[in-house]
Structure 1
């Protein structure tokens, strides 16, 4: 019997549909796998945006198993798949229930969960049995309060335990939050087969330029202050100050697309800016070996989105207390800093996001357990700061020196020996 994972309770607002943007977020993990993969899509409908987006991610060596949604005949879904042509039909198999599917590298739930916490937990437990070791389960849930009978809270709980990433998709009716869960550890080698993840909360301005969601929030605050000032003092022109600041504030959070080098030996910059120092040192927090640290200063004019210098798996993340000295001075060594520790095929690599004189807010979006591709977005630091990359000293050859300008995710700062 066909079973749908989206269990709805009496009196609920009804089914939640995933539009094209939400479908792209749900299938993002499928799209970034560049090696052969096996996928399972549960609860699909023939004309759904999610089925189309899933099929679009398929590569020649991939296989996809599809389970119809409740009320959708398997025969109708098979006819729809066959109509897509021989290439799709050879890679897509339709079954009546998840129990008929083989273990998959990635499992995608086609319908957002809207039932109770217990029902959501039962659905996740059942689908976890379809995951191969290190496999990933992707599921969406309505984001607005009151749209579920407890499923949203349960997904938040599951993410705290097993989550390796979430994404909020505002451009869906209603908005949905996409959760990516991994219940067993993934191999580090898998990171090298990934491309940088697509992030839906960055708003595209042009094909090559986005604005980070933090920028939209900051610009919105500036516009709100302008409106309040205009209402409070209608004869004054003070409202122009926050109004005119909105555009520069949003521009600070610009997030350009970058061409990441394909050379497997390349180590890319973690941030835009000027190289402050290249030095060998030891840090017992990361191991007994010696590290090569490349420090980059970001002015207020630089792009402040940080990127991953090498492919790897996040194995630790911690924040060290300190001050807020000018990021260009030696005292910045003791500033507040967030450390993301990566396990890679070449050893331990660390990215340190340091605050500065003005920068007081660090955003890090890669939870422990996540696999990150080289050049993938890691987070950002607000308003002037410094980003350090720690590399195994004897395993790399530095290619930059103090005073050089680098671009995050694009400039090669070192090469593996």
Structure 2
């Protein structure tokens, strides 16, 4: 019974009202920001929803699984972990989402494929248990709005806006 409740809580997928601008691809906490590289790194704890979403209307250019290690998702060695890399083409430039497994999270279930068009907020994947998601935006086109330590909600929290104004 306890395991059923645990798994129901971890793998929940609540409905989301999609936010404005460029939205977070994942629930979690901002761990790192590098505006010059257009990077927002998000740590997903066990208590977060683990369904990832498209940050913006896009077409998938590449979606590839890369085998690797299973270090803790919050460590500096996370980029060498097993991951799924998704490259997106948008009207404001290319974006990428790298979803990394952790010590416990060892599986990413991908819901999308190359060539597929996506609407902002559309589901991309399910990451099992805690993990990390890095979003790279075109730095010359966007203004990152979130701060390190900020809590984010996939498809809902606006993390950046286009420099010419917010796109909806």
TM-score using structure 2 length: 0.92
- Name the SS of the counterpart of 1:256 in structure 2: coil
In the alignment, the residues of structure 1 paired with residue 153 and residue 35 of structure 2 have an alpha-carbon distance, to the nearest angstrom, of 22
Q: Residue 270 in 1 paired to residue 25 in 2?
A: yes
**Structure 2 match to 1:153:** none
Cα deviation 1:31-55 (Å, max 9, x = unaligned): xxxxxxxxxxxxxxxxxxxxxxxxx
Aligned counterpart for 2:87 among listed residues 341, 345, 353: 341
Structure 1 or 2: more strand by fraction: 2
Q: Residue 258 in 1 paired to residue 4 in 2?
A: no
Give the 5 Å matches for 1:172-321: 243-261=1-19, 263=20, 266-280=21-35, 291-321=37-67
Number of aligned residue pairs = 163
Shift in Å, 1:326: 1.0
Give the 5 Å matches for 1:13-412: 243-261=1-19, 263=20, 266-280=21-35, 291-412=37-158
Cα RMSD between the aligned structures?
1.2
Aligned residues of 2:35 and 2:144 also touching (Cα < 8 A): no
TM-score using structure 1 length: 0.38
Q: Which runs of 5+ in 1 are unaligned?
A: 1-242, 282-290
- For the pair shown, the structure with the greater C-alpha radius of gyration is 1
**Structure 2 match to 1:77:** none
Higher RCO structure, 1 or 2 (CA under 8 Å, sep 6+): 2
In the alignment, the residues of structure 2 paired with residue 334 and residue 404 of structure 1 have an alpha-carbon distance, to the nearest angstrom, of 25
**Structure 2 match to 1:221:** none
- Name the SS of the counterpart of 1:343 in structure 2: strand
- Name the SS of the counterpart of 1:250 in structure 2: helix
Q: Which runs of 5+ in 2 are unaligned?
A: 164-168
Shift in Å, 1:280: 5.0
- Name the SS of the counterpart of 2:77 in structure 1: helix
Structure 1 or 2: more helix by fraction: 1
**Structure 1 match to 2:166:** none
In the alignment, the residues of structure 1 paired with residue 110 and residue 76 of structure 2 have an alpha-carbon distance, to the nearest angstrom, of 24
Cα deviation 1:108-165 (Å, max 9, x = unaligned): xxxxxxxxxxxxxxxxxxxxxxxxxxxxxxxxxxxxxxxxxxxxxxxxxxxxxxxxxx
